[in-house]
């Protein structure tokens, strides 16, 4: 098993990756019942090299629903009919997830609504109220 290179500084060493195979569901003809093409890739998140603490926290947030009981990232792939292509697909999914965690989110700055947007909101509310008033019975 070779390591997953995410960027020049960040990589997942081969020792942190565990691969299991199983029989996949879906297309495959006669092979579907006898060839283990589904790939189950598990990555130890603590062993990823070059990941800052903030990026590690973001990765845990992004992958929270993909963690197993031991805290390892679990990625499965059964898109293609061959084990090697499914392994490449699973490795690409891990790479994309770590790449997404490396991107620092843009801080949100609180802004106030513009004068025009406030006026439009009030005008819309007045129009809606007028429509409802016109629906009332004449004696009300």
Query: pLDDT digit string (tens) for 51-90?
Result: 899 999 999 999 989 998 888 999 999 888 888 999 999 9
Compute the mean pLDDT over every residue in the chain, rounded to the nearest whole number. 89
| Cα 79 from Cα 67, distance rounded (Å) | 21
Count how many Cα atoms sit within 13 Å of the Cα of residue 70 in the half-sphere of its side chain: 10
User: Is 32 a residue whose pLDDT tops 80?
Assistant: no
Give domain 4-102's CATH architecture. Answer: 2-Layer Sandwich (3.30)
d(CA 21, CA 23): 7
Whether the CB-CB separation of 43 and 16 falls below 8 Å is answered with yes
Residue closest to 20 by CA, chosen among 41, 2, 4: 41
Distance CA 114, CA 105 (A): 25
């Amino acid at each position: 098993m070779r390591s997953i290179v995410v960027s020049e500084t960040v990589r997942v060493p081969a020792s942190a990756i565990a691969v299991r195979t199983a029989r996949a569901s879906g297309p495959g003809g006669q092979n579907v019942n006898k060839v283990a093409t589904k790939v189950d890739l598990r990555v130890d998140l603590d062993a990823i090299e070059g990941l800052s603490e903030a990026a590690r926290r973001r990765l845990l947030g992004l992958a929270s629903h993909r963690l197993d009981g031991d805290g390892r990232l679990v990625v499965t792939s059964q898109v293609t009919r061959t084990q090697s292509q499914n392994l490449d697909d699973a490795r690409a999914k891990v790479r994309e997830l770590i790449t997404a965690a490396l991107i620092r989110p843009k801080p949100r700055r609180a802004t106030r609504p513009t004068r025009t947007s406030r006026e439009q909101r009030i005008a819309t509310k007045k129009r809606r109220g007028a429509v409802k008033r016109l629906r009332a019975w004449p004696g009300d």
